[in-house]
Amino acid sequence: MDLKMLLNKEQYEAAVQVNGPLLILAGAGSGKTRVLTYRIAHMINDLNIYPSKILAITFTNKAAGEMKDRVRSLVGNEADNMWVSTFHSSCVRILRREIDKLGYNKNFAIYDTYDQKILIKQCMDELNINDKDITDREIINKIGEQKDNLISPDRYKKENEGNYRLNKIADAYMLYQKKLKSNNALDFDDLIYKTVELFKKNEEVLDFYQRKFQYVMVDEYQDTNKSQYELVKLLATKHRNICVVGDDDQCIYAWRGADIKNILGFEKDYPEAKVIKLEQNYRSKGNILKAANDVIKNNAERKRKVLRTENEDGERIKIYRAYSDMEEANYVASQIRKITKDNNKKYKDFAVLYRTNAQSRTFEDIFMKSNIPYRIIGGLKFYDRKEIKDILAYLKFVNNPLDDVSLRRIINVPKRSIGDATVKKVQEFANSMEECMYSVLLDIEQVPSIPTRGTASIKKFVSLINSFIRSKDEIAVSSLIKEILDTTGYLEELKDSQDIDALSRIENLKELVSAAVEFESTSEDKSLSAFLEKVTLVSDIDNFNEDADTVVMMTVHSAKGLEFPVVFMVGMENGIFPGSQSLNDFSEMEESRRLCYVGITRAKEQLYMTSAEQRRVFGRTVSYSESDFIGEISKDLRENDNMTARNTIKSKSFSTYSNRSTTITNSVTSHMNRSVNNSMPSSFGESSLNKNKENANSLKIEDIKAGLKVKHDKFGIGTIVGVSKSGEYTKLTIVFDKAGIKNLMYGVASLEFV
Question: Catalytic site residues?
Answer: 32-33, 219-220, 250, 602
CA 5 distance to own-chain centroid = 37
The reply, when asked if residue 514 is annotated as ligand binding, is no
* Sign of CA pseudo-dihedral 494, 497, 499, 500: positive
Bridge partners, residue 353, by sequence: 554, 569
579 is in an annotated binding site: no
- Which one, of 161, 193, 155, lies nearest residue 174 by Cα? 155
Secondary structure element (H or E) that encloses residue 674, with its range = helix 667-674
Backbone φ and ψ for 577, nearest 5 degrees, come out as -145, 90
Q: Give the whole-angstrom CA distance, residue 553 versus residue 358.
A: 11
CA angle 191, 50, 17 (to 5 degrees): 85
Residue partners of 702: CB distance under 8 A and separation at least 6: none
Helix spans in 265-412 (H): 266-269, 286-296, 325-342, 360-369, 386-399, 404-410
Closest CA to 45 of 10, 12, 78, 17: 78
Q: Are the CB atoms for 10 and 277 separated by under 8 Å? A: yes
- State the CB neighbour count (10 A cutoff) for residue 694: 10
Q: Is 454 annotated as a binding residue?
A: no
Does residue 401 have a cis peptide bond before it, meaning omega lies within 30 degrees of 0?
Answer: no
Measured from the Cβ of residue 619, the count of other Cβ atoms closer than 10 Å reads 6
Quick check: 438 and 407 in contact, CB under 8 A?
yes
Rounded CA separation 445/595 (Å): 60
Instruction: List helix spans (H) across 99-225.
Output: 113-126, 136-148, 153-159, 164-182, 190-201, 203-212
On whether 246 is known to bind a ligand per the annotation, the reply is: no
For residue 693, what is the enclosing H or E element?
helix 686-694
603 annotated to a ligand binding site: no
Side-chain half-sphere of 266: how many Cα atoms within 13 Å? 29
N residues, the chain: 754
List C-alpha distances in Å: 287 to 69, 282, 438. Answer: 33, 13, 63
32 marked as binding residue:
yes
CB of 572 closer than 8 Å to CB of 627: yes
Identify the bridge partners of residue 36 per DSSP, sorted by sequence position: none
CA distance 174 to 463: 35
List Cα–Cα distances, 716 to 515, 677, 700, 713, 754, in angstroms: 51, 12, 22, 6, 11
Instruction: Assess contact for 536 and 112: CB atoms under 8 A.
Output: yes
Annotated binding site for ATP: 26-33
Annotated binding site: 26-33
